Each structure stands twice: as structure tokens, then as C-alpha cells.
Amino acid sequence: MKISRKLERIYTVFKMSKYRSITIREAMRKIASNAYVIPAIQRKFVWRPEQIEMLFDSILRGYPINSFMFWEITDEKIKQDYKFYSFLQNYADRYSEDNPDAPTAFLNLPFIAVIDGQQRLTSLYIGLNGTYRYKRPNKWWSNDEAAMPTRRLYLNIKQPVKSQIDNDKYYDFRFLSKDDLDSLKNDNDLWFKVGDILNMTSISDVNSYLISNGLLNNHFAMDTLVKLFSKVNNEEIINFYTETEQDQDKVLDVFIRTNSGGTTLSFSDLLMSIASANWTTLDARNEIKKLRDEIRQYGKPNFDVSQDFVLKSLLVLSDVDIRFKIANFGKSNIRLFESNWGAIRDSLLSAFSILGELGFNDSLIRAKNAVIPIAYYIYKNDLSKTIVKSTYSKEDKQRISVWLTLSLLKGIFGGQSDNILKSLRDVIGKNSRPSYFPLKEIVAAFKSSPDKNYTFDDEILSGFLHEKYQSNMASLILYLLYPEVVYKYGQNVAQDHIHAKINFTDKAKFDSIGFDSKDIDFCKNEDNWNSVLNLQLLSELENKSKSDATLEDWAKKNGKTEEDLFVDQNIGFKIVDFKKFIENREKNILQKLKTIVTI
């Protein structure tokens, strides 16, 4: 039967498969010559020595190590728009974790970028051609041999691992230093440097080594070394698929899809590659890493922001389209980002600085995009140097604090926040000025939004009052109720049980108080004694000194009035009147919150 030309063409395409296989030796040669490189979108190398040892053990045991995906790059534009790195050969915790830039001369030739398999290939390269340094447990961090000795991968070819647990390694691969080798010298072990297998070009070299070390009668040694030689030098176990498509959008999709099995690649990883390639005087990756490290100095617990957050901030503060699209990271925008980087960086640092000062921390601000409008306000009004000073307007900082607190309480930044950020940028851009964060204008602008408004009804506010001690919601409500305490003490504030917790958790103490029988269930209810209803903000020092003192004694000693505690004049401070105290306080706090949120 005659085969159609169309079917023949399809069959020919399948015959010309993009799947290939090479030996580990060949892969190592290509890595060493920069024929294989790493695109900047890839994460840093993160495998620990144990993972590398297990990889080599799997190879010797004939286990599959999964396929790899490569990208053959021939397009000159892609070479210009992306940044590429050489493989890491000598790894050191903290001191040598970043890949070096790929030499420009090699990038003038066609080359392969590793899309999927960087961790495995780097592990093979370090194990065969490199070193791995990590800190000794009894030493301080120091970039020297005493604290972080140079270790190479070795294999005990005389005997397998003496004891196995579940699926632990069978072959005794270990990263060892010179001192380790000296301490392990004995007649039962022989530690073969794994990289030396690359110096053996034929099985006769293996035979010569076995003879010279008196191992011809050791079947395990013979079998192990022959197997290592074969796995590295002869067997084509590096199976890979090569993508030759030069359409960057398609290739970016390949990046995301092929990394979805592990920690999914963020689109910002891809955008960072473009930014890194186009910043001319600064290194985008290093600058953003440094900024993230600097932000961590603020807050208790310290603020921690992602790369996505910084890239989104670049878009918002630069007054360009804020969507994560390749078009928005073209060369013209990236030049804008780089030229304004100093001011953008300072604005972000100032924003986190004042938020730390106002008592916010990483736990309270889960939606970090909520900080971007504050940074935009600082950037737009050139406030980065003045807003952090003690002389800056207290009222303006409190407006910022109230806006952020209300935004977090209402979940304004939940879900997709691009539209929210754009609207806030518009309002702040049109209505702000130095020392005037436009709180009222923002509330008014969002009034008509069905789900992203700043309206709080009685039911919502009442629910907040039953939030438990140390919860995020309780903290935010207390920030609204005690702005002066927060402004004065910042991170050094503490939540305090007005009537001491021990009165309700210690049965003997509880029984000795003599609560009215009809109030017992109310007083036992944690919603009443362990919620905002029975909480106040104090300085950490004041809270510590209060300890389990009775409210009566503490209030008298510290001059605290009923007004300070949000209760009426006729309400006593005696613990026996706890039910009356809480019910009256709930009424007054609710009224106070209504006043605060009505802007």
C-alpha cells in the first residue's frame, strides 16, 4: 500500500527526534568548555553533599536519574536579551554560591542552555571536577580551611556502606577533606577520588589501578570500579531533549512547564533574566538580593520580601504598566528601572523602616504588596530621607498606619492585586503631597467597590473584638485602639491581659475569686478573657512589671483611669465584676472603632 507524502513527512519528523543521549564524561567536557551554560532564570545551586552522594549512588546502582531539557540558542537577539552563567565548580556555603558569568567569547557561538537538570548536572560536575566546602560544626563562619575545609568526592571501593536504613545509599560515597582521609586510613577501606575515573581512558587503566593496590582478589572493588568507569565513560545515561525553538515566549513557557515538578518557577524568575541582561552599570540580581537582605533588618519578626515584590515595586514606582509581561520589561523600561534604582531602593527601605517603627512586622503584613503604595507615596514626594526622622509629622505616619491596618483587616490585597495597586497609584499620585498621605481620598475612591472597600459594619467590628490573644487580627485592632502606645514604643509593645490570664486558667485561683454563679460560664469562656475584650497594649517593660498583678492594684499604682481602659466611670476594676467590665468595655470599644473606621 502506498504511503501518502503527508504521512511520510510526519514519520520523518518523528525519526528526527530531539531526544539524544551522551555519557557523563561528554557532559562534563561540554560544561567545562562552556558549551553548556545556565540561563539566569535558573535558581542558585542548592543541593547538599548528601544529595550529591545519593545521586552517584543511584547511578552506580543503575537507577534512572530522569531526563534533562536543553535549549539550543542560535538567535542573536536572545543572546543579547538574556544573561547566562557558567556552571559552579567549587562550591562554598555563603562564600561561593553564585555562578560566574559565562565568558562572552563563548556566547558568540551556538550553545546549549540547561532548562531542566541544573542541580543534577552541577552535582555531577562538582563530584567529578570540583569541590564542596561547608562549615565544620564546632567552628565560627570564616572563609578558610580551618572552618571550611576543601572536600572532594570519594568512594570506598573496598566495601559498601556497613549499615543501610530503608533506601539509603549502598555505595559509600563521601565528601572528604585531607584531614578526613587521614583519619579514615585503615586496611579495610580504600578511598578512591571519584574524579580520577575521568583520567582512565580504558578498562586496562582500571585493571592497572586494581593491581597496584592489591585488589584483584577483592570482587567488590573490581565490580565497583568497573561499574564506575562504565557509568561515567561508556554508558550514555544523560538523556536529554533539546528545544531548538527561538521564539522566546514559547521557550519561557517551556521553562515554567519543565520546572513545575519541583518548586514552580515564578514568572519573575524569567523577567529577572531579562533585567540582568540589560542593566548596564549595576548587576540587577545582586542589587535586588542586597535590597532584600537590607529589608530584613526591619520588623520583629524581620520583614522578608520576594523577588516578585521587588520587580512589582519597580513597575509601580516607575509609573509604567504594572503587569508581569515581557513587554513591560523591554529595554526602555529596564533602563528606566536602572536609572531610578537608587531612589526606588531608598523608598522601599524607608517604607519598611517606618512600618517597623509603627509596630508592623512580617507576620502582620502577609500581603507584602500592601507596602508598595506606601513606598510609592515616599518616592513620589521625595520623602525617603525625611520620613524616617523623628521630627517627621506624627499625624502623617499615623494616617499611613491607619490605612495599612484597615487594608489588612479588610483583605484589600487578597487575590490578584494589580488593579488595586494601579488604583492606589492613581489616587496617591493625584492627591498626595509631602506630609499628607491621602487616607480620606483612598477610602473615597474605593467606596463603590463591592468587595475592596473600607466599609466595616457592626457585625464585622464585633467579630474583631473576639479575636484571640496574639492573633494578627487582634494585633491590628489593638493598633487602632492604642495608636499612642504603638507610636511611642513601636516594636517594643506587648499584648497584655487586663485581668490577668492566671485568674481564668488556674482552677484554684478561679474558684477562690467568688464569681456570681450566673457569671461562671461567661468568665470561663475564652472568647471573653483571652480576646481583644480583655487585652490592651503596653510597652514590653510595663507589661513585664505588671505580671499577674490585680487590675485594681496595677491601675492605682500606674494612674490608669476608666477612660484608659475603655470603660465607664461606674465600672469597677475588681475581678469579681469581670462580666460587667467586659460587657461595658465591648460596648465602648465598638463605638470607638466605629469612629476610627468612619473616614
Q: Tell me: the pLDDT tens digits for 522-569?
A: 999 999 999 999 999 999 999 999 999 999 999 999 999 999 999 999
CA distance 132 to 96: 10
Percent of the chain with pLDDT over 90: 73
Alpha-helical runs (H) found in 219-340: 219-229, 248-258, 267-278, 284-295, 307-317, 331-339
* Percentages (nearest 5) of helix, strand, coil residues in the chain: 50, 10, 40
Q: Any idea which of 64-73, 367-376, 381-390, 578-587 has the lowest mean pLDDT?
A: 64-73
Do residues 161 and 184 make contact, with C-beta atoms less than 8 angstroms apart? no
CA distance 557 to 129: 72
Residue 192 CA, chain-centre distance (Å), reads 39
Compute φ and ψ for 468, nearest 5 degrees: -80, 160
Do residues 410 and 453 make contact, with C-beta atoms less than 8 angstroms apart? yes
CA distance readout (Å), 158 to 46, 56, 128: 31, 17, 20
What DSSP letter does each residue of 426-480 carry, written as one string?
HHHHHH-BTTB--HHHHHHHTTT-SSS-----HHHHHHHTTPBTT-HHHHHHHHH
Crossing angle of helices 248-258 and 267-278, in 10° steps, is: 130
Compute φ and ψ for 554, nearest 5 degrees: -65, -45
Do residues 361 and 475 make contact, with C-beta atoms less than 8 angstroms apart? no
Instruction: Report CA Rg, the chain.
Output: 32
Confidence of residue 15 (pLDDT cuts 50, 70, 90): very low
CA distance readout (Å), 461 to 400, 451, 546: 21, 16, 29
Q: Is 241 helix (H, G, I), strand (E, B) or coil?
A: strand
Select from 493, 474, 485, 497 the least CA-distant residue to 548: 497
Q: Any idea which of 12-21, 77-86, 331-340, 542-551 has the lowest mean pLDDT?
A: 12-21
Let me know how long the chain is.
599
CA distance 393 to 263: 44
Tell me, what's the pLDDT at 101? Answer: 85
Do residues 316 and 370 make contact, with C-beta atoms less than 8 angstroms apart? no
Residue 398 CA, chain-centre distance (Å), reads 29
Please tell me what DSSP assigns to residue 149. -
CA distance 110 to 72: 7
Alpha-helical runs (H) found in 482-577: 483-489, 502-505, 507-513, 520-524, 526-529, 540-546, 551-558
Q: In the beta sheet, which residues pair with residue 468? A: 531
Identity at 353, one-letter amino acid code: S
Q: What is the pTM of this model?
A: 0.64
The stretch 424-445 carries a mean pLDDT of 97
Q: In the beta sheet, which residues pair with residue 90? A: 131
Residues 6+ apart with CB under 8 A from 502: 509, 548
Do residues 274 and 81 make contact, with C-beta atoms less than 8 angstroms apart? yes
- The cell for 276 is 540582568
Read off the pLDDT of residues 372-412 as tens digits, 9 standing for 90 and up: 999 999 999 999 999 999 999 999 999 999 999 999 999 99
Task: Report strand pairing: 111-116 vs 36-39.
Answer: parallel
Read off the pLDDT of residues 96-116 as tens digits, 9 standing for 90 and up: 998 998 887 766 777 898 988
Average pLDDT, the chain: 90
Do residues 69 and 241 make contact, with C-beta atoms less than 8 angstroms apart? yes
Q: Any idea which of 321-325, 409-413, 520-524 has the lowest mean pLDDT?
A: 321-325
Kindly tell me if the per-residue pLDDT of 248 is higher than 90.
no
CA distance 193 to 212: 16
Residue located via cell numbers 567529578 = 128
Alpha-helical runs (H) found in 16-145: 24-32, 49-60, 76-81, 104-107, 118-129
Which helix H or strand E contains 20, and what residues bound it?
Answer: strand 19-22
